[in-house]
Amino acid sequence: MATEVGGNLIEDSVVFGYDTNFGVANNNTAARFYPGEPAVNLFGDINNANARPNRTEYSTSDWTASFPKPPEDVGRVYSHTSGSLNSTWSGNSYGYTLIGYSYLANTSYTLSCWVYVSIDCNITAMHQSMEGTTLTNSTNRFYNLNNKGTWQQLSITCNSSSAVSGNAIIAYPSRSGVTDGSHTGFWAIGGAKLEINTHVTPYVLGTRSSTESLIDLRRTKDINVSNTSFDSSGQMNFDASDDQIIVDVDSIVRNADTITIEGIVNATVNSAGPWAIMTDHATSSDRDGFWWHYNIGGNVYFRVEDATAGEIGTTFGGSMPFVSDVNQHVVTVVGLNHVSVYVNGELEKSYTPNFRWNRIDSSKTAYLHIGRTFPGYYLAGEVPVFKMHNRRLTASEIKQNYQSYKKRFNL
């Protein structure tokens, strides 16, 4: 048994999974499996942008001597002083970096960057951030940077009502209310990013694709998040319309006598709440396979169906607790003529159905669908953690995992 960030989680048997709830993969966490929502940085490399009056790039030694490492990978780090660090900022001088950009009509743009200041100050940031007469919120943005000695992320979101050519500007530190030239200290910026979005996403220099956003914990499967949604905090969610993640798990399930499906699930009861299915099709409506889902009646269910024979045996569930819009740790152990479901570390029901495990047609490919059962049934909610084990987790191991997740997810 190995140790995973967040507690002593059982991971020796994990053959596929993801965990988005540690936050994005940044410089301050060992869990580098979630680089963040797919994004395209329209600002590009700040080194190639127009800088005024001067721009100085910090070396690694400057980082060590002058300020801590930024909280995420921010690319290059710069100052805009004309002199050295700790030089005086005169009342009328400022430095800025800009790019010219042609904004699309009826589109939301977010401009962001990280800034570090050595002294508390009130400065203008994102000076005339997105210039253009059809852009809203295009005036100066003022920030009271009173957390000296720390990196702070600043952003502004603007909407274009028509196509317009303008600039995206990162500017520091035209100071508000300081005119005597006595304001001293130093500042640094990094992670400049312009993106088509209503909120900030983690920094990327170029493009973070839909298969680079979320990394399999075993790094053996590609996870494509192009059919999922993301909220303003960067958490992946499912919108009950068509969101799902599809993963080829054929090599996993063909070689396992028993599997354990584990997840942290937060579902809205009005969505009917399916959260996973294993079937032999990537996209079709065939109902061959195993379902893990919530039910609108307020229970956790496990079900086995056949495309021609219909439901096999009795739907397994009906008395297991479902709580709408609350995180729950749900585990299902599926083996030959055996199913057990655990909710928040407790065994809720064991079942001995009359079916063989791994009954998906051997001539087809087994796919896992997270966020969907058969067409028309999609999850409204979140699955921040999903794991597939290639063996049967014991009751004590399931309890151990629940305890490891309990504090992090307020279970």
**For 240-264, how does the pLDDT look when each residue is reduced to its tens digit (9 = 90+)?**
888 888 888 888 887 888 889 898 9
Instruction: Return the closest-CA partner of residue 127 out of 210, 52, 211.
Output: 52
Domains and CATH numbers, the chain: 14-36+210-409 (2.60.120.200), 40-196 (2.60.120)
Query: What burial class does residue 169 get, using C-beta atoms within 10 Å of its C-beta: 0-12 exposed, 13-18 middle, 19+ buried?
Result: buried
DSSP helix/strand/coil, 169: strand
* 143 neighbors 128 (Cβ within 8 angstroms): no
Given a cut of 70, whether residue 126 has pLDDT beyond it is no
Provide the whole-model pTM.
0.80
Residue 360: pLDDT band with limits 50, 70, 90: low
Given a cut of 80, whether residue 357 has pLDDT beyond it is no
Q: What's the pLDDT tens digit per position in 95-114?
A: 678 888 888 888 888 888 88
Instruction: Return the closest-CA partner of residue 115 out of 38, 187, 163.
Output: 187
Cα 73 to chain center, whole Å?
16
Selected residue with higher pLDDT from 318 and 107: 107
Given a cut of 90, whether residue 395 has pLDDT beyond it is yes
Residue 132: pLDDT band with limits 50, 70, 90: very low
Cβ partners under 8 Å of residue 372, min gap 6: 243, 244, 274, 277, 378, 379
CA distance 235 to 231: 6
Average pLDDT, the chain: 74
Output the six-digit token pair for 23.
């936050």
Phi, psi dihedrals of residue 393, rounded to the nearest 5°:
-75, 140
CA distance 357 to 345: 24
Q: What's the pLDDT tens digit per position in 214-229?
A: 999 999 999 999 989 8
Lowest mean pLDDT among 20-29, 240-249, 352-361: 20-29
Residue 128: pLDDT band with limits 50, 70, 90: very low
User: SS3 helix, strand, coil % of the chain, rounded to 5?
Assistant: 10, 40, 50
Lowest mean pLDDT among 86-95, 242-251, 329-338: 86-95
Q: In the chain, how many H helices and how many E strands?
A: 3, 27
CA distance 341 to 371: 18
